[in-house]
């Protein structure tokens, strides 16, 4: 569509210029009867149409082709402008026409293509404001070029073009600067998030390798806590195991104020009304609290009960259930005395760690069950061996008694021989 409009403008411009040339050369009486402002308008419109046709024709062309067109039009405009300035200095005829053609050719034939190329480069960087700022660029440079032309031609109104052009140029420069700064900040934030994601992946990889190499729950939990404490404020860390047959939760691993603490917690019933641990297990949903005092009423009916000796109240709390195949096997919790301390990236990391901790806890539970079963088998084996030993001892004792009561074979043989005689 734009290509057709461009071709029409070429034809319209050439016809208009030819018409004006014919009038000025062949019909002097008609030319003299036309008011000067009207004649200037009749002359400028075809020139603008002809120059603008290049922008329409090559607006949607390939970037490389558009770049070549921009280069050619810019060179032609500069050559014409040079001759216009030289003619002006030499007081030759045609200087004004050359200046008008060069400025119009650049402003209407080249400038829109330049702005389009800049827009295509910058829209991938600043997608939201690139179009608006590109339009402001176009208007600013267009007004400045026309203001320079009006000044050169001593036409009235050049100041009314130059001042808006300067204002728009300042707005454009400021707008691009602000937009680029925002984009730089966004990219820096994205880069920081990417670095955090890489750190999280490294942590998950390290912990996964540790889980596959050991079945010791405390060893795995120590590694998990060391990595978590490097990335966030986590002076309190708890791993709990859920006993579905008894419907209660027991603490398997505990860190208080950055130090591994002995497990001194009583088992917590899942129906406990003032326990975040019980609530997270019961509902199979994570609990994230940034200000415990303000958000408590959303979860509990009263002040949370402290489950261990020398416990203190914390302000930022995260409880995440550990689920294996839709069954809750426990939970883990990270807590801090500082309010609003956990960011979205911290919470995302803890969510990623939940399946890993669940596998570790599940493996530890299975390992403990196997050890308990092995211990039971060993105990039963010892009991059987002891019983077997008792039976064998009884048999040996009975044999000795039997041997003591019964006569020997020699005695029987001697008596049999006497009877035969």
> Going from the N-terminus, what domains does the chain have, and what CATH number goes with each?
2-186 (no CATH), 216-365 (3.30.450.40)
| Mean pLDDT, range 310-339, rounded to an integer | 87
Q: Minimum mean pLDDT among 228-237, 354-363, 388-397: which range?
A: 388-397
What pLDDT, on a 0 to 100 scale, did the predictor assign at position 334?
Answer: 92
pLDDT in tens, 72-114: 999 999 998 888 888 887 888 778 888 888 888 888 888 889 8
pLDDT interval class at 407 (50, 70, 90): low
pLDDT in tens, 276-291: 888 898 888 999 999 9
Percent of the chain with pLDDT over 70: 86
Q: Is the pLDDT of residue 267 over 50?
A: yes
What pLDDT, on a 0 to 100 scale, did the predictor assign at position 289?
Answer: 92
pLDDT interval class at 309 (50, 70, 90): very low
What pLDDT, on a 0 to 100 scale, did the predictor assign at position 320?
Answer: 92
What pLDDT, on a 0 to 100 scale, did the predictor assign at position 211?
Answer: 64
Q: Which long-range contacts (CB under 8 A, 24 or more apart) does 175-183 make?
A: 175/129, 175/132, 175/133, 175/136, 176/126, 176/133, 179/126, 179/128, 179/129, 179/130, 179/133, 180/125, 180/126, 182/126, 183/125, 183/126
pLDDT in tens, 209-259: 766 666 677 777 887 888 788 888 888 998 888 888 888 888 888 888 888
pLDDT in tens, 24-81: 766 666 556 667 677 677 778 888 888 888 888 888 888 889 899 899 999 999 998 8
Percent of the chain with pLDDT over 90: 9
């Amino acid at each position: 569509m734009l290509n057709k409009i461009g071709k029409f403008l070429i034809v319209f411009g050439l016809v208009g210029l030819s018409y004006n040339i014919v009038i000025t050369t062949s019909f002097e009486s008609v030319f003299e009867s036309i008011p000067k402002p009207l004649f200037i308008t009749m002359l400028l419109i075809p020139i603008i149409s002809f120059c603008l046709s290049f922008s329409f024709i090559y607006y949607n062309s390939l970037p490389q082709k558009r770049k070549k067109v921009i280069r050619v039009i810019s060179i032609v405009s500069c050559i014409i402008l040079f001759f216009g300035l030289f003619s002006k200095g030499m007081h030759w005829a045609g200087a004004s026409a050359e200046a008008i053609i060069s400025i119009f050719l650049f402003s209407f034939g080249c400038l829109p293509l330049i702005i389009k190329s800049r827009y295509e480069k910058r829209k991938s960087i600043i997608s939201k404001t690139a179009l608006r700022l590109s339009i402001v660029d176009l208007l600013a440079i267009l007004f400045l070029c026309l203001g320079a032309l009006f000044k050169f031609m001593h036409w009235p109104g050049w100041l009314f073009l130059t001042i808006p052009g300067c204002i728009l140029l300042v707005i454009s420069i400021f707008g691009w600067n602000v937009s680029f700064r925002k984009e730089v900040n966004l990219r820096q934030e994205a880069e920081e998030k990417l670095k955090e994601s890489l750190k999280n992946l490294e942590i998950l990889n390290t912990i996964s390798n540790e889980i596959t190499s050991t079945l010791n729950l405390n060893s795995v939990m120590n590694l998990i806590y060391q990595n978590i404490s490097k990335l966030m404020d986590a002076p309190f860390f708890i791993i709990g195991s859920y006993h579905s047959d008894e419907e209660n939760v027991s603490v398997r691993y505990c860190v208080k104020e950055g130090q591994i603490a002995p497990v001194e917690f009583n088992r917590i019933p899942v129906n406990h009304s003032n326990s975040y641990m019980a609530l997270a297990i019961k509902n199979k949903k994570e609990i994230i609290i940034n200000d415990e005092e303000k958000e408590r009423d959303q979860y509990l009916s009263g002040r949370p009960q402290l489950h261990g000796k020398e416990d203190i109240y914390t302000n930022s709390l995260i409880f995440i259930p550990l689920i294996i195949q839709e069954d809750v096997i426990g939970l883990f919790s990270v807590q801090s005395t500082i309010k609003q301390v956990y960011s979205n990236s911290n919470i995302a990391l803890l969510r990623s760690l939940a399946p890993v901790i669940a596998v570790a806890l599940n493996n530890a539970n299975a390992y403990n069950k196997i050890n308990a079963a092995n211990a039971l088998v060993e105990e039963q084996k010892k009991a059987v061996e002891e019983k077997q030993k008792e039976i064998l001892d009884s048999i040996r004792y009975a044999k000795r008694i039997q041997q003591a009561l019964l006569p020997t074979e020699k005695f029987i043989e001697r008596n049999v021989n006497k009877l035969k005689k």
